[in-house]
Amino acid sequence: MKGSSFKRKLVNARRVFVSGAHSFLRNTWLSAAATIVMTITLACILVTLFASYTLNNTVKSFTEKIDVSIYFKDEATKDQIDNVSATLRNDSNLEVKEITYISKEDARESFEQQNKDDIKLLQAIAQSGGDLPASIRVKTVDPSKLQEVVKVTRQDKFKEVVDKDSYADDAKRTAADRLGNIAKFLRNSGLVASIIFGAISVLVILNTIRMTIFNRKDEIEIMQLIGASKWYIRGPFLVEAAVYGAIAGILALIFFYVLVLGQAPKLGNYVQEISPTVTQFNKWVWAAVPATILIGMLIGVFSSYLAIRKHLKIKAIK
């Protein structure tokens, strides 16, 4: 008996799917309208995601380059310098990521390397016999902590050793701060835009399906009177909406991967971080494809469920 009941359920499920697919094909205009709106929504979500990732990567790579150099006095010994480094490293509040020691010789070599074409300058330096100072270059996990770093090195106890630091004239840091804020703003506005488009999409699909239901409300009433269960009546509408969602998902993915990601590297000259982001998105394509299609289907099914709910109430009024 149980087996036969299961078989009947399977037969019903198949009928619901076939019927839903048929009505998708039958209501061409309504289907097209719903699919287009949903495609725009999904494409908007994907593009927002992409833009936000690119910006995040840009901010990240920018902030990674931010550091502060602490220059030491001529007479500072290596031990004293190590002592400063250790103090910074041991201060857990600073979250120091990296400290690079640059000796006088290293500094000179690097300077000569950088200015190897400017012979006059090199000669002038050599004649003056002036050494470049030894320094340490400090990077922190959070660049805003660099301010704390220089607070430490400017303390009186290091006065004998530390000469100066590069904190005050660091334009990179200000730029990064500003970029970070822009990224945050864009990410938030992208999120808001996605939510708004999502809501519009639900509303449009809700109304599209309402129109379909309105056209077929007599049919729904007859089905109810004959004893069709709610799921039997609702099922084809949900399947139809899931089809809108799946097709919209595929279209949005095509638009995104072919047009946006395909063309994005051309912007590489302006935004360097675009190429790594494109690579990242290409690497995750196996997850992006099912996720986008699934989101489309869920939006469709949810709207359809809302639209038909009202029509499926058992009419008996006391």
Partner 1 sequence: MILLDRVTKKYGKKGLALDRVSLHIAPKEFVLIVGTSGAGKSTLLKLLTREEKPSTGKIVVGGVDYDRLKDKEVPLLRRKIGTIFQDFKLLPNRTVFENIAFALEIVGMTNKEINYTVPRVIDLVGLNGKEKNFPRELSGGEQQRVAIARAVVRQPKILIADEPTGNLDPKHAWDVVSVLEKINKHGTTVLMTTHNQEIVNKLNRRVITIDHGRVAADSSGGAR
Interface with partner 1 by CB under 8 A: which range of 9-17, 118-126, 144-152, 190-198? 9-17
Q: Is 12 in the site for partner 1 (CB under 8 A)?
A: yes
Check residue 101 for interaction with partner 1 (CB under 8 A): no
Site string for partner 1, 104-133 (x = CB under 8 A): ------------------------------
- 39 with 251: CB under 8 angstroms? yes
48 near partner 1 (CB under 8 A): no
Backbone angles phi, psi at 214, to 5 degrees: -60, -40
Residue 314 makes contact with partner 1 by CB under 8 A: yes
* Cα–Cα–Cα angle for 262, 252, 48, rounded to 5 degrees: 75
Q: How far is the CB of 8 from partner 1 (least distance, A)?
A: 3
Residue keyed to tokens 């690119």: 54
Residue 8 makes contact with partner 1 by CB under 8 A = yes
Q: Interface with partner 1 includes 232 (CB under 8 A)?
A: yes
> Which 171-230 residues touch partner 1, going by CB under 8 A?
218-219, 221-230
As measured in angstroms, the least distance from the Cβ of 307 to partner 1 is: 20
Q: Which stretch binds partner 1 (CB under 8 A): 3-11, 74-82, 116-124, 265-273?
A: 3-11
Give the nearer residue to partner 1 in terms of CB position, either 129 or 227: 227
Q: Is 15 in the site for partner 1 (CB under 8 A)?
A: yes
First to last CA, the chain: 37
SS3 135: strand
Structure tokens at 55: 């910006």
**Nearby residues of 66 by Cβ (< 8 Å), 6 or more positions away:** 139, 143, 146, 170, 172, 173, 176
Residue 134 sits at the vertex; the CA angle it makes with 85 and 78, to the nearest 5 degrees, is 55
- Residues, the chain: 318
* Shortest reach from residue 317's CB to partner 1, in Å: 6
Q: Determine if 18 is a binding residue for partner 1 (CB under 8 A).
A: no
266 binds partner 1 (CB under 8 A): no
Phi, psi of 147 (to 5 degrees): -65, -40
Per CB under 8 A, the segment of 6-14, 161-169, 257-265, 289-297 that binds partner 1 is 6-14
Distances (CA, A) of 313 to 176, 234, 265: 58, 12, 54
Query: Site residues (CB under 8 A) for partner 1?
Result: 7-9, 11-12, 15, 218-219, 221-230, 232, 314-318
